[in-house]
Structure 1
């Protein structure tokens, strides 16, 4: 595939992933097509050399792994991305009265989004619904594939200071308009029930989120940009998945992780700080007939690539970026580093990944925040609280991170797949963070 075909597949992947529940369902379809066997956490596992498996937690996080056919150098080579993006969650009692016959929805922020990018856009609802069926509660995915909501701006005639730095109140300004009278208060659950084919009285719980319905596009006179909702971090979830599926490593265990809740701190049962990764690796170890000591030996020789998008230098505000550690779209993979350890990268892990980029023929860039700015953390340093391994933080350069519609370079998706395929396909032998042999 060329980079434009890859960008279009990325956009299809994102369109099929309107919520974190749908993101995992989309990933599972890729895995099932590739012949992976599902291993529920609550069931006994049976593994074999050369086997391909995956497990999930909460239906919003997934870990897939390939067991090497030889497994002569037992360790784990892992990537981690995340399934969630900043949006607004709909509260359990969803409807709000408005003036006249208006019906609005009651929402609260999930993550740190740019509020004003959600105004005047077609929106819908996606997530999961828990429904009673006989003596059981069952999980049903919901995505209303229709423009049903919008958050309207106040006309400038009524808010003449809006362009002077207006501060939005999320409890007032960010309430989506649901109806002007055609739908009455109390009918939101009826709509949900109709969409999933159940009675409203049988709905016992909902995790529903707003979805920006604006289509993703490849654009620019030379097709150099890709713009879409949720590039952070579904772009990295996509590239690491494609590379994981394409590569083979007979000597080690390749592991693909996509965690939920990164945007709200990862400190949940299915987040990067949870026991999900540790539990999965230990079960792999047990089911391969390895001892506990062999597990610790394997972890000591393992490596993690934490994949979460990076900030590109902004065309209108280059001053926001460090003068010598900025990255640009279509110029290659970004290695992210921070002295305060918000990122896991150090000289050792940077060297390992830079070598892989050179071997793959992929350009590599550096990102660090300006020294007077505090950046956010990501997956690597959080997952390392449970499974401590050598790790590097990378990403693809993008603009408008945490906007409802983000922009990246159309070539970088292919670059990431190429280097991560090289990573998964290379046996990396680590000796005490002092020596690395690439086989």
Structure 2
């Protein structure tokens, strides 16, 4: 329960990519990590622990040991999740209702977001004297504010035969009632300014995530399951943070990366398809007195864990899984492979992680997509192509991936965290 209880707390506080980073940052600070600024020149000390935030939604934490030349161990995950995000000028007034204009972020299962209590979290950017450094406020209302109402079956008799939802028309959250006197008032900006105690005119822009506001819970006859929003991929974010905090290696360079924007392809300045990680690793080497040539050479003896959730065998759709590789809930971490390399890995990488699991008695399973189902992809294949280091994809098996609420096995978080900790043990 201690592993899953702390996971549920982590999920509740990580209501946007920004808040996932803030939650991780606070935990790292409590464990004596030093906060660096990406724009500063770094002076690093061996065995000191560091982290750097990147545009507020990505975080890299690392420990440079006495001899970096023993290779890098890197664990990567992502802070973002499929959701709705508010557009600029979001207020929509219609027939006495106030709605918010939103767009779909990532591959969310749309109908699972209907009729749920929803809230808002993210970043609000305010005017400042330095136009190139506006003031930033992070905001989380922590209470139900919105809902996306379904259409009654009486008005659509075909609703249970399969309905395609129009993202622009049918996914707009209901937010408030309005009157004619409110026609010229921007109620969203008023709400934001009240929350952060500023003038409405000071708000220049925002990046606001609509999140599912119901709390995570245990379920099952024996409380053997967890039902929660954002299991993809906060299970992995937490495992990475726990792993670097528990680090016991004496040589080499240990790193975790909590990337943003995986759900929309990673091709951003703070995403896994950027040069961010390569640049930070090279800066670490230089700050510790090593050459670029040493950095490039050490890539070949390094290892990356790409930590993201996996598809568990579905009890009502068993035919959707591979016929011999069928991970199920509460049976351990899934090792993910794909001939297409949509999941990163090779035979040696699989052998390494299996050996760690065997040594530490960590339960694991194998996941491969059915040959006629493309499946998804992860940061691993992208990041390993940029860094040319051996990489393997792993993750906790879950059901209903990309739903507003997903389901996992209660004991699988323990297995996942044990594996990431063992990865940084210094075997």
Same fold (TM over 0.5): yes
Q: Which residue of 2 aligns with 1:275?
A: 275
- Structure 2, unmatched stretches of 5+, are none
> Deviation digits for residues 353-380 of structure 1, max 9, x if unmatched?
0001111101110101110110111011
Summarize the Cα distance change of 1:71–1:165 in structure 2 as closer, same or farther, 3 Å threshold: same
> Deviation digits for residues 310-336 of structure 1, max 9, x if unmatched?
000001000010110110111011010
> Deviation digits for residues 396-432 of structure 1, max 9, x if unmatched?
0000000010000110101111121111012xxxxxx
Q: Which residue of 1 aligns with 2:56?
A: 59
Give the whole-Å Cα distance in 2 for the aligned partners of 1:245 and 1:407. 27
Q: Which residue of 1 aligns with 2:125?
A: 130
TM-score normalised according to structure 1 size: 0.94
Do the aligned partners of 1:7 and 1:218 also contact (CA within 8 Å) in 2? no
Query: Which stretch of structure 1 is more off in the superposition, 6-15 or 136-145?
Result: 136-145
- Residue in structure 1 matching 2:46, options 49, 58, 75: 49
Does 1:102 find its partner at 2:97? yes
Give the whole-Å Cα distance in 1 for the aligned partners of 2:275 and 2:177. 46
Does 1:87 find its partner at 2:83? yes
Give the whole-Å Cα distance in 2 for the aligned partners of 1:279 and 1:260. 17
Give the whole-Å Cα distance in 2 for the aligned partners of 1:27 and 1:72. 25
Runs (4+) of structure 1 exceeding 4 A deviation are: none
Give the whole-Å Cα distance in 1 for the aligned partners of 2:269 and 2:381. 17
Give the whole-Å Cα distance in 1 for the aligned partners of 2:385 and 2:191. 43
Shift of the alpha carbon at 1:181? 2.7
Q: Which residue of 2 aligns with 1:207?
A: 207
Do the aligned partners of 1:302 and 1:389 also contact (CA within 8 Å) in 2? yes
Do the aligned partners of 2:68 and 2:253 also contact (CA within 8 Å) in 1? no
Which runs of structure 2 are paired with 1:81-230 in the superposition (5 Å)? 81-98=77-94, 100-135=95-130, 137-181=134-178, 184-185=182-183, 186-230=186-230
- Residue in structure 1 matching 2:18, options 18, 21, 25: 21
Give the whole-Å Cα distance in 2 for the aligned partners of 1:407 and 1:388. 34
Shift of the alpha carbon at 1:56? 1.5
Shift of the alpha carbon at 1:386? 2.1
- SS at structure 2 position matched to 1:104: strand
Do the aligned partners of 1:334 and 1:394 also contact (CA within 8 Å) in 2? yes
- SS at structure 2 position matched to 1:314: coil
Give the whole-Å Cα distance in 2 for the aligned partners of 1:218 and 1:282. 43
Q: Which residue of 1 aligns with 2:32?
A: 35
Q: Which residue of 2 aligns with 1:433?
A: none
TM-score normalised according to structure 2 size: 0.97
Which runs of structure 2 are paired with 1:229-244 in the superposition (5 Å)? 229-244=229-244
Give the whole-Å Cα distance in 2 for the aligned partners of 1:243 and 1:322. 31
- SS at structure 2 position matched to 1:133: coil
> Deviation digits for residues 108-139 of structure 1, max 9, x if unmatched?
10000000000110011111011113445111
Do the aligned partners of 2:302 and 2:390 also contact (CA within 8 Å) in 1? yes
Query: Which stretch of structure 1 is more off in the superposition, 366-375 or 179-188?
Result: 179-188
Give the whole-Å Cα distance in 1 for the aligned partners of 2:106 and 2:68. 43
Give the whole-Å Cα distance in 1 for the aligned partners of 2:332 and 2:310. 11
Give the whole-Å Cα distance in 2 for the aligned partners of 1:144 and 1:180. 19
Do the aligned partners of 2:342 and 2:378 also contact (CA within 8 Å) in 1? yes
- SS at structure 1 position matched to 2:274: coil
Shift of the alpha carbon at 1:73? 4.3
Query: Which stretch of structure 1 is more off in the superposition, 22-31 or 212-221?
Result: 212-221
Do the aligned partners of 2:115 and 2:150 also contact (CA within 8 Å) in 1? yes
Give the whole-Å Cα distance in 1 for the aligned partners of 2:187 and 2:295. 54
Give the whole-Å Cα distance in 2 for the aligned partners of 1:140 and 1:119. 29
Do the aligned partners of 2:345 and 2:392 also contact (CA within 8 Å) in 1? yes
Q: Which residue of 1 aligns with 2:318?
A: 318
Do the aligned partners of 1:273 and 1:385 also contact (CA within 8 Å) in 2? no
Do the aligned partners of 2:93 and 2:178 also contact (CA within 8 Å) in 1? no
Q: Which residue of 1 aligns with 2:350?
A: 350
Please give the root-mean-square deviation of Cα atoms over the aligned residues, in Å: 1.2
Q: Which residue of 2 aligns with 1:432?
A: none
- Structure 1, unmatched stretches of 5+, are 427-438
> Deviation digits for residues 326-351 of structure 1, max 9, x if unmatched?
10111011010111110111101000
> Deviation digits for residues 148-197 of structure 1, max 9, x if unmatched?
10111011100110000011111111110011237945211011111011
Does 1:250 find its partner at 2:250? yes
Shift of the alpha carbon at 1:385? 3.0
Does 1:78 find its partner at 2:65? no
